[in-house]
Amino acid sequence: MPRPTTAQVACGSLTVVLTTVVLLLATDARSGAAVAGLAASGLLAGLLVAVALAPRGHRPAAAPAASPDRAPRPARVPVPRARVAATAEPRVSEHSLRR
Write the DSSP assignment of the chain as a string of letters. Answer: -PPPPHHHHHHHHHHHHHHHHHHHHHHT--SHHHHHHHHHHHHHHHHHHHHHTSPTT--PPPPPPPPTTSPPPPPPPPPPPPPPPTTPPP--S--S---
Higher pLDDT, 58 or 43: 43
Q: Where are the domains of the chain?
A: 6-52
- pTM greater than the 0.75 cutoff: no
Report the chain's mean pLDDT, rounded to a whole number.
79
Residue 63 has pLDDT above 60, yes or no: no
Contact status, residue 17 vs residue 49, Cβ threshold 8 Å: no
pLDDT, average across residues 24-38: 92
Q: Which of 61-65, 75-79, 91-95 has the lowest mean pLDDT?
A: 61-65
| pLDDT score at 38 | 94
| pLDDT score at 90 | 62
Q: Which of 40-44, 50-54, 83-87, 88-92 holds the top average pLDDT?
A: 40-44
